[in-house]
Structure formats: structure tokens, C-alpha cells
Structure 1
Amino acid sequence: MRSSKWLLPVRALLAYQVLLLLLRRVEGEESHCTSVAGMVKLLDLEARLIDNLEDYAAELEKKLETVRRSINSLRLENDRARGSTEEYLSNPLNAFSLIRRMNRDWIIWQLYMDDPVGIAQVERIQELREHMPTHTDVEEAVTALDRIQSTYGLNVSDIAQGLLNGKQYNVSLTVLDTYAMAQILFDQKNYLAAASWIYQSAVLMEVYTLAAPLQISKNEVRMVYTETLLKLNQNADALKVVNIALADNPQDIKLLLKKSEIETMIRTGTNNAAAAKGQAKGGTTAYQMGCRGQFPPSADGKLYCLYNRTTSAFLMLAPLKMELVGLDPYMVLYHDVLSAKEIKELQGMATPGLTRATVFQASSGRNEVVKTRTSKVAWFPDSYNPLTVRLNARIADMTGFNLYGSEMLQLMNYGLGGHYDQHYDFFNTINSNLTAMSGDRIATVLFYLTDVEQGGATVFPNIRKAVFPQRGSVIMWYNLQDNGQTDNKTLHAACPVIVGSKWVCNKWIREREQIFSRPCLKKPI
């Protein structure tokens, strides 16, 4: 039989273990939100957790049923005794049974009530916790949603209600969602964005009530809102929030102290030095305009569409639909290049091996994970299988380039708010390990494997051009000028995905083997 003294340490230990698991970051674990394909397994994991919670409920119901069944029999005996107390107690058998019950049965009931329910289910959550998102994952998800909001100029209230860039979806955020956004943005010192999200939390709390054990108090939300407004030097508005909170809790010491503090700040004209970090930035950038589809149509009358039959001999038999996008730098868009079967095979190849994308850092001389690129990638050699062989042959037909010495095919899947900030594809380094063997990246070939419902455009801000993903199409551009120098007009970016799963495949073609394909260099490299 368990003693009650033993039960308390067990509960404390379980709580401590759960807390450790909640705070622990599993070393080397991939980010969950940087790829839609990578997030699929989270739904399966959540289903297992729900099943586990259902098992916990069954254990509780089983214990409750035992208690309720015993209450009926215990109540029946007690009522019988109290109905004729003297007669009942004068019988030695009843007297003995009462003494025995009071001495032993209720001790057993005490232990039964104190016995924790669901230890197996708690342990199961502990086992699954290693595969669940960490606090770092939540921070990345918050940053991604904030990136969508700022890049596309969306209202926080619209996002919370499922209205994304003018399109209404059958989904909305809860108070817990908006509150988490506010808390993390506040911790990141992004006070302006945090203020919008915490205000939305306050609005939602007036309409919806959270059920236990996930409830949060209105005062908690109001206090965070107050601190956020103070960081923005909006002291008068912060005082209004505190007064609203005091109307519900006039004797709250913390609120009264905060009110006094703010009134002193207003009276003395005290401002918060950190406020500058949370202020709004300037107007819309060229990058944001491109992502929003606000670039004007090209005025270059030389651009046109045609069937390309000349780049290779094979195209005389199977020409490709080519759209000339730009001449400086040279940029073309090919349509209907990939079949549905090929796209499905490429996605199937990549999904098991997707890992977080990295960017080469000249300062460290190695590839590193950076916040400016959020996607997952998989690499495949040219001769990996018949499909990669065909794909490389198709690239050669489209570009007229020799692919010997070029980089492997890179398949990418973007996740929540997935993007790649403004960058160049060329290395712009001489005699380094990156370019010594095969030269710099003369051209980029980018396949779009999927349509993207909203967002995800490839934007060239310096030349005011944007290409939106079309399933099966390919965009190709030159990164180097005719004289072999880098072309700064090729600055480009992958805009954040709003809704959809963006899959792309790219090939970076190196310059060294193009001496006969493009022999127009004016000086040696």
C-alpha cells in the first residue's frame, strides 16, 4: 500500500521532469516551421497526443465511476444508521462495523484520492516531447508570421480573423495564439508589432473565455499591453489601460503601483530609451512592392514569347515555350517544362532528406543557417537517377550551356512564411575554393514545382521585375556580364509564402566550361 508521504515527491518529480522537457532544446533538431513537408509529421504527432489525452480521460472516468459507485453504498448505510441512531448503534455488529470503517476504510479512501491518475499518460508525453516543437520553433514561427504581415502590409486584426491579403480563409487565431505572438515580439524588442498583437488579444478576451487549464487572466494581458505601450513612449495610453484594469480590480496592489509609476513618468516627462527599436520604419521598399505585385508592366517593347527551336538540336523536334522577361540582365521564362509525374517524383525524392537550408558566409568561409533564408533543401547529383539525367539534359537544351563542373540539383520546400532575403547568386571571389575549379555562377535555372496560392514570388528589386510561381515553369537568368564581371542588377529574393507549399528546384551553372558556349568575354577571368 502506498503512503501519502511517498506521493508528493513523485508529483514534484513529474512536474520537474515536464518543466525540463518544456524548456529543453534538443541539440541538432531541425526547425519545424521552415518546410511544409517537414510539418506534416507534426499533425501525426498531435493525433498521438490527443489519443494519449483521451486515455488520460478514460483513467479519470474509471476512477470517478469507482468513487461515485462507492458513494451510493456508503450514503445508503449512513442514512440507515442516522434514521434510527440508537437502535443502529446498540447492535454490536453495527457498532463494530462503524468503528472499523472510520479507522481503516477512510484511510484507504484518503490514499485512493491522493493516488495520482495518468502517470503512464504523463510519461508518454515526456517520450513524445523530444519530437515536439521547442520554444525556438515557436519563436521562428512568430518571426515568420510577422514577416508575412510586414512584407505584405497586412492588418493584424485581419490576420487573426483569417483574412490574408484580401482572401478570407476558414481559420482564425485564438487568444493564446495572439498572446504568444505579442509576448515573443516583445522579447525580441519589436514593440510596435507586439502592441498590435497584444491589443488583438485584449479584444478577443472580451468575446471568448478560455477553458481550464489554458485560461489567462485579462489583467495579465493588460499588464503586458501596458509595458508594451510604455516601451513605445505612449505613456498616456498605458495609463488608460491600467485604469481599465483597475475598474475590474480596484484593490490590486500591482496595478495601483503601476498607475502611480506611470503618472510620475507623465508628470516628469520621462521617456523610454528603448522605444526607438520599436518604431515604424520608412515607406514601402522595392522588394515589398515586388512581393505585393505592384511593379508596373515592363515598357520594353522588345520582350516577346516564342517557341525556342534553336538553342539545341533537340529543340528542333521538341521546342519549348519561351517568354523573354528581360534583356539586361538576360532573363527568360519557360512554360510547361515539367510534367505532373516528374514533379511528384522530385518531391518524393526530396522529402525524406530535407534539411535546413544554409548560406555561404564569406566571413567564416563556410555555410551557415541564417534567418534570412528559411527553407529546407535536398541535393541530388546529376546522375542520381534517370529523372535527374533528363532534367539536366533539359537545362542544357534551355540554356545552351555545358553543365560539366556545375553544381548539383537543389530541391527546396518553403514552410511558414518561408523566404530567402535579397541576395546575389554569384560568389564574386577569385582563386578561392569556391571558384578555382569551375569559375563563378554564370547563370541560375529555377524550376517551380508548385503553384503558390498566395505570395512566394521571385523578385528582382533593382530592375523592378517579379515572377510568380507557376507549376512546371522555369526561370533562367545570367548572373555575370559579358565581360565576366558580376551583375548587380541580378539582386533577387524569394518573397515570403503567405498560403501554400512552395517547391522549387534550382541549378547553378558555372562559367569555366562555357568558353565555347559563350565566348564573348572581353578579358580573361
Structure 2
Amino acid sequence: MKRRILLFAVSLIAAGLAGLTVHAQVEGEQSHSTSVAGMVKLLEVEAQLIDALKDYAAELDKKLQAVRSGIASMRRESKGAQDSMEEYLSNPLNSFRLIRRMHRDWTLWQMFMDDPVGLPQVDRVQELRDQMPTSTDLEEAVTAVDRIQSTYGLEVADISHGILDGRQYNVSLNALDTYAMGQILFDEGKYATAAGWLYQTLVWLEDNNNSLPGPEALSKGEVQAVYAETLLKLERHADALKVVNIALGGDKRNDIKMLLKKSEIETLIRMGPDSVLTAPTLKSPAPPVGAYERGCRGLFPSPSTDARLHCVYNSSNSDFLRLAPLKMELVGLDPYMVLYHDVISASEISQLQEMAVPGLKRATVYRTNAARSVVVKTRTSKVTWFLDTFNELTIRLNRRIADMTNFQLVGSEMLQVMNYGLGGHYDKHYDFFNASTATNMTHMNGDRIATVLFYLTNVEQGGATVFPNIQRAVFPQRGSAIIWYNLKDDGETDPQTLHAACPVLVGSKWVCNKWIRERAQLFRRPCLKRGK
């Protein structure tokens, strides 16, 4: 039994170490946290794990009941013998039964005690290991929560208590959750943020009397040691000394380690000035807030009252729109940007999502130096691509895009359906390419003249599309679509189109986009000379 447990533990460690090289291999990486739809299967796997643990408990309980029943029976026999030992043994039948019991019954009990319990359940858990998150998944999840915190300016204590950007949710983090945040952020060198999470871990343990079940138990002394080390990294020596002194008055198992740490800190303090803050609970300095963060938080100023910005029923782009005009809002002229409302139906959205889920893969970004698409931390989502002629729905959507934009779609890219996950985002970027490093497709079909982005879902909090250079933010509205030009009238790339997808705070964000290429637009949007 011990050998099987050891092998199981080794396999867990090996699985964790295997996750460390995940970014080197895009193929086969599940990237659980990068798509809400992709994480659904994790709940299904967890349900199977709980069932295996329940069956394991039932097997243990069955064995425990047998042991307790045997103890009760043997106690009755033993008690009668203990009251008058010689009288008991003077009866040959009692003597015979004692010898038989000691020779045979206790041999059977020893075998029963040695017999491992729940091996099928342990094997079932092992079988599910391949479907569980790796260490890389956990690191990405920590990075996502940290991204949410910094982008939206949230407090660690609020997040821990389920308060996200002022809204209270029926969920909270326990000490194991906050400790994992602190540990991984410490390993990444983000000491100021790690300190906040480690302090919150100590608060939870204090408030809940260290009450974590079974193998999940967490030593306060262990957390205090990491917290003190984090404060040392921040050169807050006096604060670290306070934490060590508190630890020395608590968990005696850490006395030697903590005494050595105390001596080290006192030496550091004696060797030089200690410019520290007075309390170990002091908040970390807030990161600078730029245009991107302000846009994500909904803090951009309202567009000025420009008579040229208006709402209309667009009935002029195509013959079809004369019969069924679309609601269009002109939201920007530099770059040209419009927002269509109620342009994709609920049934079309549901069908797109159903089509996309089986093929969702981690989104990548094309890198010219690598000459291939690679996984990057600046884009966390999962995507599925569909040929324009994939089915009747994709044909209909492409026809609608042509009506909305008055562009030809020949040579343009496929429809892309995307789902964002935990803190899912796409950092600041342009949709156009650098002509000097363009791919063969760009040389053949031209650059991306326009972007069409359908919002397939509302997002409860976060998830805006922001344009920091022009201070515009568009928050997802189910059924709407935003369109903007990436190229100027003379065909040059437009730096004003810098944009980003803000982290999803709460909700599941689904979008569908189409990049339209310029070469086929020769007679739809002629390239004009500057000044004309």
C-alpha cells in the first residue's frame, strides 16, 4: 500500500513538472483557464473525482465498521476473562479458544489490516490526471487574477471576500487560494503583490482558527515564513522582524528556522539604514493608471457633441438593406468606426457557439521572427475558425458583413469565433500588418482594411474593447457589431486604431470577427492621395 501511495505521489509531481514546459509546445496544451466554455469540462471531471472519493470513503467506512464490530465482540470475550483469569482458563474450552484466537484470528486480523483499501478509486483518480490542470494552468490562473486586480484597481481583501469592482458575489477565497496566489507571485518576483495575498492568508487562518480539512491543512508558521521572506525582498526589514517575532510566539515547530531568520534580519538591520513602512499590513503602492486601464474601468470621457456622430437606419450600402435597413451608430471618424445594433439573432448566436465549442483551441499570435503563430501571455482566449462556405449560417453572416461594410470579401480571412476565459484579454495591438515583414497572404490580398467584431454575449463586468489613443471604449452588447477601418484613405496604416480587449471580470465573453483585406476593395474604397 505504501509503495502504491509513493508511486501515486511521484506521478503527481511528474505531472506538475511536465506542465513547466507547456509553453514550449502549443500542440496538446489544453490551457484550461483561457476559455469559460473550455473550463466546463473541468467541473465534469471534478464531479467524477468527488464520486471516486465518495466511493473511497464508503470502502473505508465498510472496513471501519468491520473493525469496530470485531472490537466489540473481542471486548466482550476479553472482559469475561479479565474478571477471573485463572477460573476462565481452567475451562479447557476457554483455553482452547484463546490459543486458537491468538494463532489464527489475529493472523487474519493482521492480514485484514494490511489489505489496502480503495485501490480502484485511487486508480480512477490517477486515470483522470491527464484531464486535470497542470502547474502551468495554475500559474496562468494566478496571472489572470493578478491582471484583473491591477487593471481594475481592486483590493486583495475585497477579492478574497467575493467583492469584484464593488459588487458582492456569493463566493470567497480560503487560505489555500490566497496562499497559492502569494506563492506563485513570489516565484515570479512580484513581491509587493505577493505580500498582500500572503497577509490575507494569515488573516483567514486567524479568523477561521486554522480550520482546513485533512490533507489540506495549512501551517500558519509556514505562511509566516514565506511572508517574512517576501517583506525582506521588499527591503521592509523591520516588518519582516515583526512577522518572525509573531511566528516565534506561535508555532513551536518553526522555532529553529525562525530563530535563524530572526538573527539574519537583525544583522541586516544593524548593517544599514532600514527605510521601511511601519506596519506589515500596509497596502502595496498602486500601479500607474494609463489610458488602457481608464478605458477598461469605463472612465473615458463621453464623446463630444459632434453633429457628425449620429444614429441612422443604414439602407444605402446594398440593395438588400433598402428592404431591411440595419440600425447603425456612427461613433468615430478618425478612424472611421460604426456600431451596428441587433445585427445577429439569438438563434444565430446559439448555433455559432454550438459549432465552435468542439474545436476551441488556444488563440495564438503570428510572430515574424519565428515565422509561425505562437502562444503569448498577451492573448488569453480560445478560438475556432470557419470557412466562409462552411454552412448556411457562415454564408449568411458573410453576406451580412458585406452589406454592413459595402466591401467585397474575396481574399479576406475566415470567420473567427472566440471565447475568453478567466481574466481573458488581448493586450494593446493593431490588426494591420507591417508591410516590410508581411506574409504571402498580405502581399497577395493586401492588408486588413477593416475589422468586423460581433459581440455574441453580454459581459456582466469588464471585457470592453478599448481604443486608448482616441479614448473610446465599447462594452459588449449581445447582438451588436463594431466595425472600424485599419487603413487611412491613402492606404497607410492608422496608428489611431490601437486597441485591446480588456480582461473579463465576471461573465463569459463570446465574439466573432472578420478581417477584411484591401485588394478586393479597389472599386469600393479607392486609395486616395493625401490632401484629396
TM-score (norm 2): 0.93
1:269 corresponds in structure 2 to 272
Do 1:33 and 1:415's aligned partners in 2 also have CA atoms closer than 8 Å?
A: yes
CA 1:29 to 1:282, structure 2 compared with 1: closer, same or farther past 3 Å?
Answer: closer
2:110 corresponds in structure 1 to 110
What CA distance in whole angstroms lies between the structure 1 residues aligned with 2:377 and 2:5? 40
Quote the sequence identity (%): 66
2:478 corresponds in structure 1 to 471
Partner of 2:338: helix, strand, or coil?
strand
- Displacement, 1:8? 4.2
Deviations 1:107-155 (A, max 9, x none): 3222322222111111110000110111110000000000000000000
Aligned counterpart in structure 1 of residue 424 of structure 2, from 418, 422, 443 = 418
What CA distance in whole angstroms lies between the structure 2 residues aligned with 1:281 and 1:210? 32
Partner of 1:426: helix, strand, or coil?
coil
Do 1:232 and 1:279's aligned partners in 2 also have CA atoms closer than 8 Å?
A: no
Aligned counterpart in structure 1 of residue 467 of structure 2, from 454, 460, 464 = 460
Do 1:291 and 1:495's aligned partners in 2 also have CA atoms closer than 8 Å?
A: yes
CA 1:415 to 1:11, structure 2 compared with 1: closer, same or farther past 3 Å?
Answer: closer
2:303 corresponds in structure 1 to 298
2:171 corresponds in structure 1 to 171
> Does the alignment pair 1:13 with 2:7?
yes
Runs of at least 5 residues in structure 1 that lack an aligned partner in the other structure: 1-6, 273-277
Partner of 1:306: helix, strand, or coil?
strand
1:259-338 to 2 correspondences below 5 Å: 259-269=262-272, 283-301=288-306, 302-338=308-344
- Displacement, 1:80? 1.3
What CA distance in whole angstroms lies between the structure 2 residues aligned with 1:60 and 1:281? 51
Do 1:375 and 1:418's aligned partners in 2 also have CA atoms closer than 8 Å?
A: yes
- Displacement, 1:225? 0.6
1:87-486 to 2 correspondences below 5 Å: 87-208=87-208, 209-249=211-251, 252-269=255-272, 283-301=288-306, 302-430=308-436, 432-486=439-493
Q: Does 49-58 or 309-318 show the bigger shift?
A: 309-318
- Displacement, 1:182? 0.4
Deviations 1:359-415 (A, max 9, x none): 011211211110000000000011111111110111011110000000000000000
Partner of 1:435: helix, strand, or coil?
helix
Do 1:21 and 1:126's aligned partners in 2 also have CA atoms closer than 8 Å?
A: no
- Give the partner amino acid of 2:234: L
- Displacement, 1:282? 5.2
1:65 corresponds in structure 2 to 65
- Give the partner amino acid of 2:501: A
CA 1:299 to 1:408, structure 2 compared with 1: closer, same or farther past 3 Å?
Answer: same
- Displacement, 1:13? 3.2
Do 1:359 and 1:367's aligned partners in 2 also have CA atoms closer than 8 Å?
A: yes
What CA distance in whole angstroms lies between the structure 2 residues aligned with 1:96 and 1:57? 38
TM-score (norm 1): 0.94
What CA distance in whole angstroms lies between the structure 2 residues aligned with 1:240 and 1:271? 14
CA 1:68 to 1:447, structure 2 compared with 1: closer, same or farther past 3 Å?
Answer: same
What CA distance in whole angstroms lies between the structure 2 residues aligned with 1:191 and 1:55? 42
- Give the partner amino acid of 1:198: L
- Give the partner amino acid of 1:472: G
Deviations 1:13-37 (A, max 9, x none): 3443344345443872310000000
Q: Would you say how many aligned residue pairs link Structure 1 and Structure 2?
A: 512
Runs of at least 5 residues in structure 2 that lack an aligned partner in the other structure: 276-282
What CA distance in whole angstroms lies between the structure 2 residues aligned with 1:138 and 1:338? 36
> Does the alignment pair 1:515 with 2:504?
no
Partner of 1:325: helix, strand, or coil?
strand
- Displacement, 1:99? 2.0
2:81 corresponds in structure 1 to 81
- Displacement, 1:271? 8.1
Deviations 1:208-232 (A, max 9, x none): 2112110011101111110111111
